[in-house]
Structure 1
Amino acid sequence: MMAIAAAVAFGLALLFDLINASLGDHITEGTLVTLGLLLVALHLAGVGTSRSINWRRRR
């Protein structure tokens, strides 16, 4: 889930860079790249995964 959000943030950053646009003074393509990197880091850390760990072994 986090990887998909990161891909969207990177896509928006690329689009803003290509058309030289921004969303006000605070949200620029650099901000979206930083957000994308944060989301990739969270994804790699395991945050947002729907996989649960089952500690019991079946015999």
Structure 2
Amino acid sequence: MLAIIGAVLFALALILDLADANIGDTINAATIVTAGLLCVALHLAGVGTRARTGGGWSLRSRK
């Protein structure tokens, strides 16, 4: 999910950069790119992933 948010932020930053637009004094394309990189880094670190409990196969023998 964080990777998707990062991709959306990168797309928004690209559109703002191509249009040479600014949202405000503090929010510009570089700020949005930094937020996108943060989301991708968190995704790669494993933040926001669900813990798998009780799933998968086991080594129990069937009788």
Q: Cα RMSD over matched residues?
A: 1.9
Moved over 6 A (4+): none
Q: TM-score, normalised by structure 1?
A: 0.86
Larger Rg: 2
The residue number in structure 2 matching 1:12 is: 12
Gaps of 5+ in 1: none
Task: Give per-residue Cα distances to partners, 1:3-56, cap 9 Å, x unaligned.
Answer: 000000000000000000011101000001100100000000011123x1338x
Alignment size in residue pairs: 58
For residues 11 and 25 of structure 2, the distance between their equivalents in structure 1, rounded to whole angstroms, comes to 19
Gaps of 5+ in 2: none
The residue number in structure 1 matching 2:45 is: 45
